[in-house]
Amino acid sequence: MLACVTLMAPFTALLIAVFLVPVGYAIGLSLFGEDHKGLGFGGGTTVFTGLRSYLAVLQDPSFVSGFGAIALYCVIFVPVVVIGALALALLLDSGLVRLRRTAQMLLYLPHAVPGIIAAVIWLYLYTPGLSPVIKLLAQGDITVDFLGMNTVLPSIVNIALWSGLGYNMVIFYAALQAVPREVIEAARIDGAGGFRTALMVKVPIIKGSVLMVCMFALIGALQLFTEPMLMNQATPMVNSRFTPNMYIYDAAFRRNNYGLASAASVILLIVTCALSYAVTRWTGRKERSAR
Amino acid sequence: MTTHQLMPTKGLTATNRSTFASRLTSRAAANTIVLIAALYTLLPGLWLLLAATKNSDALFSSDILSFGDFSLWRNLTDLFAMEEGIYGRWYVNSLLYAVVGALVGSLISVSAGYAFDKYEFRHKEKLFGLVLTGVMVPQTVLALPLYLVASGVGMVNTFWAVFIPVLFNPFGVYLARLLSSGYVPNEVLEASRVDGAGELQTYIRVSLRMLGPGFVTVFLFQLTAIWNNFFLPMVMLSDQDLYPLSLGLYTWNSSATVSPEYYPLVVIGSLLAVVPLIVAFITLQRYWKSGLTAGSVK
């Protein structure tokens, strides 16, 4: 028993100190507000405000528009990354491609590049004067503003795509490796070509992985922070409350309103947990039906 | 490995010949698509590599392929000389947060995962449910709550404010439990107990050794996560001497918008910051792969 306690204690302590306590504290703080202006309470008194902070957050157009930006981001990012990674995995699995291991390694490498550095590289490739891409396009009389009003979101999506394409491809490829070869052989004997086999046989079998990648992409998208934060320095098209996480940062450290920031954090936590819960329920159902 | 290779069909009837031809075209098409994807992933990295050898002027003329100017050494000395060598300081900080943090963190996670697998205790599955919840909650959601707690106990803007939270790795616990049930047979533990070894002794001498590859996988995942960490240090730290590379490069990039002499430094600084992870990934390939696949079946 002593051994068990010794092995569990450090992790349990962390679970309490950096997970349960902060979440509880944030919930608590979101229910209180500080009255700076001394409207009859005196300066800096903490008063119970109930759900007022939540109402303030939910009625703040800049918070809601953050979720709007995320939604738009997802509409572009999720289909592109899933279809792209799936197509690459199917091609690698089809046996048509040479140097499979090298190709996997190369495609995966951007995932080892820290998010902030990936963002720096691409930001410079989007910056006129620095970017050889823009220069090359200019020589062909094409002018593109990668940081314009309509292009900035696709530009952010591209950074995430660059980082995530190979990673998701490896997940799909691993799932495809587990597809029973007899099934594919049977499809081939039935006269299905490689393309048909991929689309009608392989994809339905690994649809569990596909759905999971979609869900994780959605959950990841909710956390969007690093890339737009860096873009914020370069273009006015990305404001300081562009995503929910940026809103939280802005509320806490630029506006010094911890109540508002806590409420926004709790809302983001709830949305994320709801999505995660959907993932676990869904995969749980899949496992049960597989038995 | 179950590599799957469709053989060209035997016997050359007319239809077979045409399928063979179409097979050649699809082979070419498939290779081209994969090649384009590989170029897409490689070229930005190549740009970083070339840009790191350029001085400010060449960088701004976008003459990335001109080899007339080779300022790599100049850029390197500038990088480590800037602001009294603070870049070196950030590098050491990142190594401390990431390498030490991942070592300690994976030891904590693997121990807990092993205990979850091998011991029975009250509320075990409830506690494990909490671990799984932790897996699902991304670190960024916790950053502000963590800041609030840290400021409550007066730990904001200290080394520990970043170091302690990154030790928490519920995914590592989950993975370790899975690996422990797969790789550490109960009979071995029984044998060790019969030999009179204590429980902890058995864990350190026998089980931990068997969990070695799993340990490396957990370590690698945590190392990457900590090295990439940006939101938490940004929230916690205001003293530049405590910054990790990610935050330092971010500040330099904002300085660059005002004083462009920072641009070459951000470029070469980014290049050097990428190196450890790329090396770790290439040399430890099989470990991250096993972690990825374990993660994908969960």
In this prediction, residues A139-154 reach a mean pLDDT of 86
Closest CA in chain A for residue B227? A114
Cβ-Cβ contacts under 8 Å, A112 against chain B: 224, 274, 277-278, 280-281
In this prediction, residues A108-130 reach a mean pLDDT of 90
In this prediction, residues A271-275 reach a mean pLDDT of 86
pLDDT bracket for residue A41 (50, 70, 90): very low
DSSP state, residue B7: P
Which residue in A4, A23, A166 is closest to B121 by CB distance?
A4
Residue B147 touches chain A, beta carbons under 8 Å: yes
**Are the CB atoms for A209 and B296 separated by under 8 Å?**
yes
In this prediction, residues B13-31 reach a mean pLDDT of 74
A162/B108 Cβ within 8 A: no
Residue A138 touches chain B, beta carbons under 8 Å: no
Q: What is the structure's pLDDT at A181?
A: 84
Q: What is the structure's pLDDT at B290?
A: 65
**Are the CB atoms for B272 and B94 separated by under 8 Å?**
no
Full set of structural domains in chain B with CATH: 14-74 (no CATH), 76-297 (1.10.3720.10)
Q: Which two tokens stand for residue A266?
A: 């709790």
Angle of CA points A276, A281, A283, to nearest 5°: 95
- Is B7 a residue whose pLDDT tops 60? no
Q: What is the structure's pLDDT at B66?
A: 65
pLDDT bracket for residue A44 (50, 70, 90): low
Q: What is the structure's pLDDT at A16?
A: 93
Report how far residue A170's alpha carbon sits from residue B94's, in angstroms, rounded to the nearest whole number. Answer: 28
Q: What percentage of chain B exceeds 70 in pLDDT?
A: 87
In this prediction, residues B45-50 reach a mean pLDDT of 89
Give the A window 196-255 contacts with B, CB below 8 Å. 209, 212, 219-220, 222-223, 225-226, 229-230, 233-234, 245, 248-249, 252-253
To test the contact with chain B by mutation, choose from A25, A83, A96 the residue with the greatest count of B C-beta atoms within 10 A, namely: A96
Least confident segment among A189-198, B111-120, B235-244: A189-198
Q: What is the structure's pLDDT at A75?
A: 93
- Ranked by mean pLDDT, which of A130-144, B13-27, B45-59, B76-90 comes out on top? B76-90
Closest CA in chain A for residue B254? A233
Distances (CA, A) of B239 to B15, B99, B233, B234, B256: 73, 21, 10, 10, 20
Closest CA in chain A for residue B296? A171
In this prediction, residues B219-236 reach a mean pLDDT of 91
B296/A212 Cβ within 8 A: yes
Core vs surface per residue A50-89: b (16+ CB within 10 A) or e: eebbbebbeebeebeebbebbeebbebbbebbbebbbbbb
pLDDT bracket for residue B3 (50, 70, 90): very low
B270/A12 Cβ within 8 A: no
Q: What is the structure's pLDDT at B13?
A: 57
| ipTM of this complex | 0.84
Cβ-Cβ contacts under 8 Å, A180 against chain B: none
Q: What is the mean pLDDT of chain B?
A: 84
A112/B230 Cβ within 8 A: no
Report how far residue B296's alpha carbon sits from residue A207's, in angstroms, rounded to the nearest whole number. Answer: 12
Q: What is the structure's pLDDT at B5?
A: 45
Residue A49 touches chain B, beta carbons under 8 Å: no
How far is Cα of residue B32 from the mean position of the Cα atoms in its chain?
Answer: 30
Q: What is the structure's pLDDT at B27?
A: 84
Any idea of the CA torsion for A117, A226, A128, B45, to the nearest 10 degrees? 20
Q: What is the structure's pLDDT at A47?
A: 77
Q: What is the structure's pLDDT at A131?
A: 81
Residue-wise pLDDT tens digits, A211-262: 888 888 888 898 899 999 999 988 888 888 999 999 999 998 898 888 889 9
Residue-wise pLDDT tens digits, A4-39: 888 899 999 999 999 999 999 888 888 886 655 444
- Is B38 a residue whose pLDDT tops 60? yes
